[in-house]
């Protein structure tokens, strides 16, 4: 399967509408990105059930900023619309295959439950200071 170039407009839909998505954030001037490109492409041929997407950080600077990209290449894996892996640096082919098997093996219901719990925890943490201020009369 060929890789897909993602833009800001396509990113959310691609992640939400596909079971497993692997995204490579890269730039044309990046040596390690160029070395990793054939490894990423070869993995896309082996794992036809995964969407392989590339984001050119030079062309899609807003998307890269929103994704918190500070170093390239950076790989992100999404399962069921949830980010389950993010790491800067290129992986050798065997490590990439192992990562994909682990991501594909995740229980999607459990991934979503944990994401919901994390989001609820972040909301509570955000509300706690306001509640404390109200209790103190501030």
Indicate the Cα dihedral angle 84, 119, 74, 107, nearest 10°. Answer: 10
Among the listed residues 6, 22, 33, 51, the single catalytic one is 33
- For residue 76, indicate whether it is catalytic: no
Of 95, 84, 97, nearest to 19 by C-alpha is 84
CA–CA gap between residue 111 and residue 95 (Å, rounded)? 22
Of the residues 15, 21, 22, 30, which is catalytic?
30
Cα dihedral sign, 105-120-81-53 = negative
Is residue 30 part of the annotated active site? The answer reads yes
In whole angstroms, what is the distance from residue 60 CA to residue 108 CA? 29
Find, among 29, 39, 38, 35, the residue nearest to 99 by Cα: 39
| CA-CA-CA-CA torsion sign (62, 79, 41, 2) | negative
What positions carry a catalytic annotation?
A: 30, 33
């Amino acid at each position: 399967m060929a890789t897909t170039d993602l833009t800001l407009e396509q990113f959310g839909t691609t992640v939400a509408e596909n079971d497993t998505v692997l995204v490579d954030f890269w730039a044309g001037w990046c040596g390690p990105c160029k070395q990793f490109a054939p490894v990423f492409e070869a993995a896309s041929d082996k794992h036809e059930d995964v969407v392989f997407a590339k984001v050119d950080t030079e062309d899609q600077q807003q998307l890269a900023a929103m994704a918190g990209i500070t170093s390239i290449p950076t790989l992100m894996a999404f399962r069921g619309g949830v980010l389950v892996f993010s790491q800067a640096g290129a992986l050798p082919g065997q490590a990439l295959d192992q990562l994909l098997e682990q991501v594909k093996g995740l229980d999607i219901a459990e991934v979503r439950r944990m994401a919901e719990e994390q989001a609820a925890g972040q909301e509570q943490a955000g509300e706690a200071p306001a509640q404390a201020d109200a209790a103190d009369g501030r």
